[in-house]
């Protein structure tokens, strides 16, 4: 399981490349490991939305030079793995798109664990 220091390094790496942390998906076990108190999670993730989930991941976004905003979901693990989606936050299906990408990430991670 990933620790707080590794989470901080992932966030720093993304920020160095112009990405903004937007949301965090946490399983109950990682939330407990990181310190389930609000202050511990705030210290690590700031004021972004933290969502209970079946996978540990962080959503980052970055505005491209042209076109829609790039949203990348990064699995919070020692092994780098991420999926990207281009989406318009004002579109009616925006949240559905993000859920679909998070589901694809979950399925892919589970497949990799089985092999």
Q: How far apart are CA 115 and CA 93, in angstroms?
A: 34
Average pLDDT over residues 18-34: 95
Query: pTM for this structure?
Result: 0.91
Alpha-carbon distance values, 28 to 2, 36, 54, 109, 111 (Å): 13, 9, 8, 17, 21
Looking at the DSSP bridge assignments, the partners of residue 69 are 87
Q: How far apart are CA 25 and CA 78, in angstroms?
A: 16
User: Is the model more confident about 59 or about 88?
Assistant: 59
User: What are the residue boundaries of the structural domains of the chain, listed by start?
Assistant: 4-114
Q: Name the one residue in this structure whose structure tokens are 């966030």.
A: 11
pLDDT classification of 31: cutoffs 50, 70, 90: very high
pLDDT digits (tens, 9 = 90+) for 67-90: 789 999 999 998 889 999 998 889
**With 90 as the cut, is the pLDDT of residue 10 above it?**
yes
């Amino acid at each position: 399981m990933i620790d707080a220091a590794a989470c901080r390094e992932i966030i720093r790496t993304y920020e160095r490349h112009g990405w903004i942390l937007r949301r965090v998906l946490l399983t109950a076990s990682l939330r407990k490991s990181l310190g389930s108190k609000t202050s511990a999670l705030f210290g690590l993730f700031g004021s972004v939305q933290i969502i209970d989930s079946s996978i540990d991941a962080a959503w980052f976004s970055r505005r491209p030079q042209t076109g829609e905003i790039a949203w990348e979901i990064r699995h919070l693990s020692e092994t780098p793995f991420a999926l990207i989606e281009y989406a318009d936050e004002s579109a009616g299906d925006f949240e559905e798109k993000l859920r679909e990408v998070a589901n694809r990430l979950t399925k892919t991670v589970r497949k990799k664990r089985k092999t």
